[in-house]
């Protein structure tokens, strides 16, 4: 599991990174809001822990930008601003949970584990993911294309499409994708990913999944206009 910790208190951040690492998480740390936004746009995270009082760019602005880009990554707000007004405002902006300072690490850990369970890790909290006429039902593992036709997906095809749609317009490396969709016994250097990408393109259209040669793949939400 990969977490982003956006926290400007160095001592607290170092302590949390150490404890999360001991519990098997991989953690990136951002000390300000601009760095947090940059990392969110560069890497896929399973969950984001976001302080409201970040320098350079407030936590609520980071959260707004995240949700405006249709990212469904679970977000837990961690802050000393513990009044009910701040809680309501954070939840309105798209936060999934809220924990005030000071806190016990054990409670933070349980809240994170619960959020990860709710989101099923790979697909965010939404039961249906939608993008420009494309709809993926997380419960039935079926995709509905813009012509209104439903298509059954294999488990791996479903996991791949859900991961791509959960990170719209973001360049995802082959290693990031493979870590999410295939069994650890697969050879990560094989062409299994290319096979599943090709299968998905036949269903949803090749223009929705762009190949960035030598870098990875990108699920795009804006399709090119057809010539008149």
pLDDT number for residue 225: 63
> What are 6's strand-pairing partners?
30, 50
pLDDT number for residue 124: 44
| Reported pTM | 0.58
pLDDT number for residue 67: 85
pLDDT (tens place) for every residue of the chain, 228 residues total = 789 999 999 999 999 999 998 888 889 999 999 999 999 887 778 899 999 889 999 989 999 888 887 777 899 998 776 666 766 777 777 888 888 888 899 999 999 988 887 765 444 445 678 888 999 987 788 899 989 999 998 878 888 998 899 888 889 988 888 877 764 444 555 688 899 999 999 999 999 999 998 889 999 988 766 544
Long-range pairs for 154-163 at CB < 8 Å and ≥24 separation? 156/181, 156/182, 156/196, 157/196, 157/199, 157/200, 157/203, 159/122, 160/193, 160/196, 160/197, 160/200, 161/136, 161/200, 161/204, 162/122, 162/123, 162/129, 162/136, 162/138, 163/44, 163/122, 163/123
């Amino acid at each position: 599991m990969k977490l982003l910790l956006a926290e400007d208190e160095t001592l607290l951040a170092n302590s949390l990174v150490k404890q999360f690492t001991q519990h098997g998480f991989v953690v990136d740390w951002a000390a300000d809001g601009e760095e947090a936004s940059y990392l969110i746009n560069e890497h896929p995270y399973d969950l984001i822990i976001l302080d409201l009082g970040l320098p350079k760019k407030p936590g609520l602005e980071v959260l707004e930008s995240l949700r405006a880009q249709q990212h469904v990554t679970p977000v837990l707000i961690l802050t000393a601003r513990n009044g009910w007004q701040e809680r309501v405002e954070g939840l309105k902006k798209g936060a999934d949970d809220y924990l005030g300072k000071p806190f016990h690490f054990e409670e933070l850990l349980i809240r994170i584990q619960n959020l990860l369970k709710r989101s099923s890790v790979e697909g965010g909290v939404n039961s249906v993911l939608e993008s420009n006429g494309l709809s993926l039902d997380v419960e039935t593992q079926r995709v509905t294309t813009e012509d209104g036709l439903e298509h059954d997906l294999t488990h791996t095809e479903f996991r791949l499409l859900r991961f791509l749609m959960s990170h719209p317009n973001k360049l995802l490396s082959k290693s990031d994708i493979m870590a999410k969709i295939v069994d650890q016994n697969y050879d990560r250097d094989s062409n299994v990913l290319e096979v599943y990408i090709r299968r998905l393109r036949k269903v949803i259209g090749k223009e929705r999944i762009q190949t960035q040669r030598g870098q990875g793949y990108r699920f795009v939400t804006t399709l090119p206009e057809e010539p008149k």
